[in-house]
């Protein structure tokens, strides 16, 4: 689990998040994250929960995320 909600984080979600392939839960909600959701999140094949609300993210949801059957 990676829980960083409500920590006033700013900037982009790094594409290196895709290297944490055994993550099952990611909580980045309630921060000031900007930019697009990196497509490398699609490498997290065991991901069951992804919370990104209350940020300033832009762009569309990457196809790689919509292809994840565990979410």
pLDDT digits (tens, 9 = 90+) for 21-53: 999 999 999 999 999 999 999 999 999 999 999
pTM recorded for the entire structure? 0.88
CA distance 24 to 22: 6
Task: Output the pLDDT for position 66.
Answer: 86
In this predicted model, what pLDDT tens digit does every residue of 60-71 receive, in sequence order? Answer: 999 999 888 888
Long-range own/partner contacts, residues 18-23 (CB < 8 A, 24 or more apart): 18/42, 18/43, 18/44, 19/43, 20/44, 21/45, 21/46, 22/46, 23/47
Token pair 């700013």 is at which residue? 10
CA distance 59 to 21: 23
Task: Output the pLDDT for position 49.
Answer: 96
């Amino acid at each position: 689990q990676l829980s960083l909600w409500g920590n006033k984080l700013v900037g982009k979600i790094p594409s290196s998040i895709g290297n944490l392939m055994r993550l099952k839960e990611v909580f980045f909600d309630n921060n000031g994250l900007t930019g697009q959701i990196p497509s490398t999140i699609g490498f997290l094949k065991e991901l069951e929960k992804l919370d990104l609300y209350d940020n300033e993210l832009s762009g569309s949801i990457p196809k790689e995320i919509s292809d994840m059957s565990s979410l």
